[in-house]
Structure 1
Amino acid sequence: MNQPLTWGAAAAVVIIAPALGFGLRKVFDRLGAKPEERSRTFRALVLRLGRDLSVPLISLTGLLIAISIPNKLPVATDVARNTLVAALIIAVTFAVARLAADIITSIVMAVSGIGGSASLFATITRVAVFSIGILISLSSLGISITPLLGALGIGGLAIALALQDTLANIFAGMHILATKMAQPGDFVRLDSGEQGWLHDVDWHHTTIREMPGNLVIVPNSRFAEAILTNYSRPSPDTEVTVDIAVGCENDLDHVERITMEVAREIVGHSETAAPEHDPQLRFHTFGDSIGFQVQLRSRRYPDRNLLASDFIRQLHRRFRLSKVTLHRSGVTEELVPKHHMDLPIRTRDSEPDFDNAS
């Protein structure tokens, strides 16, 4: 082949290959822009893999073809080819690492139902794939990886000693997720007083979102060693106990009937109550007053105060209507509804005469 034509063909391949790569990437972008393709379905994973590989794979393949067309190059063909192959391996490694992390995330979500617990395993998967890809790329460049592995074995001990706290947090995070002592989405309380929803377990720390919205960052090692109360396991519903005291002159059967009616109404209509649990009433004190407890169950631990508030408000209204007397500081108070006040009727004759007041 004529030398100018050879170089022209090589240059054309160098120009056309990236253009084809970007064009193919646009196609994958359009196919993957649909809302259903943003999930981790098999089709979505394939589209994302094709998008990640389209530009580097076609561009580097075009360069490999281009350097093979001319007979004589100013640089060694083998060196250029090995360099491009190493770059191609690294590009494929990045794409495969992302695909593997997405697959691990999908598996963890299928097992636990919450994607936040997959961040630690996804990070470990990426690091493992990157390490393998780098070793393969070094081998393609003609670099022997056997001495490198030996050096890494010796240096790994020094690195482990230097990163002792970091490694402790990594293994503690794996222990937290593997034992399922707590999963993202659970409402937990530590022995140090912090409580809230478990937001995420990362490679270094655990994040707890408090009810006001603040984030509490706890190292994984401290979280694993803490005395933990998990209000979401084995069941998310929580007992709510309301203490009440009424006067001794009340009919206790009447008091119990009214209280249970209100409790059942709350359980049946409140969004914070667990409807599968019936309310319970138990008398426990006999003295200047009759004390008893009403036990309800909220759907979640954070809902217990709201459920108790709704129940107390409705019960107070029913006690007033039924004239049930409550015990307050040694004094029995009768809750009688006050519909109106008897006020004197003002007539024209009873109005003061300001004009003649002087």
Structure 2
Amino acid sequence: MQTEPSNEVAAIVDSLKGAIHEKVVVNWLWPAIIVGGAVVLGLVIERVILARLRKLADRTEWQGDEIIIDALRGIITTLLVIIGLFFASYSLPIHPSWLALLHKVLKVLLILCGTVALSRMAVGFARLSSVGAEGEIKSASILVYIARASVYLIGVLIILQSLGVSITPLLTALGVGGLAVALALQDTLSNLFAGIHVLASRKVRPGDYIRLETGQEGNVVDISWRTTTIKAPANHLIIVPNTRVASSIVLDFDQPDRETIVVIGLGVGYDSDLGKVERVTIDVAKAVLTEIDGGVPTFEPVVRFTEFGDYAIKFNVILRSRQFGDQFLLKHEFIRRIHERYCKEGIVIPYPVREIVTRGDKS
């Protein structure tokens, strides 16, 4: 008689355990499957579909498709996981107030993911807009800063609006505070807008070789929110305020064409055959342009006699280099070869001669 009640209690306990286990499986297993499926789907899209799209984008001339695809890396999986958590949350045994809080958090994360993706795209297109002289994307940090800050500012405002926070008083406060900041940072803001003007006008581009009216010259490394950085041929940096660059006379050797004319002055003796001098010089110049890296092989070198000098007939040899920095090697090689060839051909490069006449002593 005593075993029957104990058997009934055991059966009730087993049934409760089974019900609890079944409830746990229903409440937690399906959400885990949904989230896991979202992760797998995101990885498949990124590692298979995006990878193939990236290969197709490499074949196109437009670089914008590569920027868009690269901006989505890591974002698609995160977005799918957030969406999966949103749908899985309805199966979770949690209080409605906690569920509402979870949905707000997921909404914020969703907006953040979109903001990050748009920020990457904005930065990529900002860099694309400052394409260098050879077509490669150069650094222009001022555009990068403005693009990233603008997108994140808009993202924060959207998040506050989605959370029910009124942004009108915030915008009003920012306007009043911005006026005070503008008055306090006049020099900084003038450099900022000067940098924007320089980039927008495309008169100076990152990567260009420029010379300022003050004599400094070199390649433009970066145009930031306050200064322009120039790398001099001696491998040191020149930091110039943007207002100086915008207001000074700038000689840009890479615009409108990066190829540069190279002028080399020479002189030969008065007894030289000028026709032979011209033929030999052009022959050497063609060989230099063809064989030396940095020369333009399709360019026809030119010889132009300029004047009867004190001790020689002077003339200029005109070559063409691919860019400003290549002219130094071309000059070196041309001078070395032309001296060797003139010696073989018997063409004399005279020494400077000056006749000095002295008056005798009248006494």
Question: Which bin holds the TM-score, normalised by the shorter protein?
Answer: 0.7 to 0.9
TM superposition shift of 1:143: 1.0
After TM superposition, the structure 1 stretch with the greater mean CA deviation from structure 2, 23-32 or 227-236, is 23-32
Determine if the alignment matches structure 1 residue 58 to structure 2 residue 80.
yes
What one-letter code is carried by the residue in structure 1 that aligns with 2:115? T
Shift of 1:264: 3.8
Contact 1:20 1:58 in 2 (8 A): no
Could you say which residue in structure 2 is the equivalent of 1:113? 135
Distance 1:163 1:4 in 2: 66
Specify every segment of 5 or more residues in structure 1 that has no aligned partner in the other structure, as ranges: 332-358
Are 1:87 and 2:106 counterparts? no
Deviates further, 303-312 or 109-118: 109-118
Q: TM-score, normalised by structure 1?
A: 0.76
2: CA distance, partners of 1:309 / 1:108: 34
Alpha-carbon contact 2:229-2:237 (below 8 Å) kept: yes
Does 1:247 find its partner at 2:269?
Answer: yes
Q: Which amino acid aligns with 2:174?
A: L
Q: Distance in 2 between matches of 1:21 and 1:163?
A: 49
Aligned-partner Cα distance in 1 for 2:66–2:349: 66
The corresponding residue for 1:232 is 254
Q: TM-score, normalised by structure 2?
A: 0.75
What's the CA shift string for 1:245-274, capped at 9, x where partnerless? Answer: 333333344433433333344345444333
Match of 1:42 among 65, 69, 73: 65
C-alpha spacing 1:45/1:295, structure 2 compared with 1 (3 Å): closer
2:238 corresponds to 1:219: no
Structure 1 residue 284 displacement after superposition: 0.9
Quote how far apart the aligned CAs of 1:65 are: 3.6
Of 319-328 and 215-224, deviating more is: 215-224
Distance in 2 between residues matched to 1:272 and 1:62, nearest whole Å: 57
Number of the residue aligned with 1:304: 327
Match of 1:207 in 2: 229
Between the two proteins, the alignment pairs up a number of residues equal to 329
Residue pair 1:67, 1:77 contacting (<8 A) in 2 also? yes
Long gaps (5+) in structure 2: 1-18, 355-363
Equivalent residues of 2:268, 2:313 under 8 A apart: yes
1:70-149 equivalences in 2 (<5 Å): 73=95, 75-106=97-128, 109=131, 113-116=135-138, 119-149=141-171
In the aligned structure 2, how far is the partner of 1:190 from the partner of 1:262?
Answer: 34
Partner Cα separation in structure 2 for residue 42 and residue 239 of structure 1:
37
* 1:331-354 Cα deviation digits (max 9, x unpaired): 9xxxxxxxxxxxxxxxxxxxxxxx
Q: Deviations over 1:45-87 (max 9, x none)?
A: 34742631322x2333344345444576185543443333223
The verdict on how the C-alpha distance between 1:89 and 1:7 changes in structure 2, with shifts beyond 3 A counting, is farther
User: For residues 5-20 of structure 1, what are the structure 2 equivalents within 5 Å?
Assistant: 9-12=26-29, 15-16=32-33, 18-20=35-37
Task: Report percent identity of matched pairs.
Answer: 33
C-alpha contact (below 8 Å) 2:38/2:77 kept by paired residues: yes
Of stretches 127-136 and 74-83 in structure 1, the one that deviates more from structure 2 is 74-83
